Structure 1
Amino acid sequence: MKKTILLIFLILFGAVTVFMSSSVLFDWFGIRAKEGNYVPGIVWANFVCGILYVVAAYGIMHHQIWARFPLTIALIILILAYIGLFIHINNGGLYETKTIGAMAFRIGVTAIFILVTTKILKK
């Protein structure tokens, strides 16, 4: 049951992340204009992490211990992007305030994914 819930969250979170970030990056459906002052590095990091979430879901579905690896890489990417965001802000770069909270949330969620994945794969 926990495995199914984790898979659903990972697949949905990953798919929505890939869709939204690619929509901003490639200006699909006019979403780029709605995002305001987005930071390209953050959007690219989110795009890559979305793909990594789906890859991890595949590994979990097949009960592969390596499924933690894409999630760990995603967490590292997000932390580095978060640091980059603060450097960008300190250098006077434009950004949306919501990006700071959204990145903190994404880092937390990814850490939880790693913890739950580790617990599920140990069984």
Structure 2
Amino acid sequence: MAEVIFYEKPGCVGNARQKARLRGSGHRLEVRSLIAEEWTAARLRPFFGTRPVAQWFNAASPRMKSSEVVPDRLDPEAALALMVADPLLIRRPLMQVGEQCEAGFDEAPIADWIGLAPAEVAVTDACPRIPDGTAC
């Protein structure tokens, strides 16, 4: 069992499913609003590890969908500055256990990291409300 700090977009159906999956696996959650949190680039950066910059972003955010923000054209510093200014751009959830941080909800890496009980239906960071399955 892990103590997980879970940063969500309040009211997000996908985040609700993810929280239920973690709790069903025996983890305790400290839920925080990703939107209300006062982020800095230095505080946000550890959540993305070695992932390419494009994988740091929430593909379903309005600014991504309109192509106003194009992650492939951004260096890490510019990407972090945009996300600090507009947290809806951040891929979620953000999760922290101890000093380790992760972004997104990919079951296999989460199972390896903190453990997940077997489930009949996989939970991802794709939004169940968006037909193309992108994250919301």
Structure number with higher relative contact order (C-alpha < 8 Å, ≥ 6 residues apart): 2
TM-score (norm 2): 0.25
TM-score (norm 1): 0.26
* Structure with the higher fraction of residues in strand conformation: 2
* Structure with the higher fraction of residues in helix conformation: 1
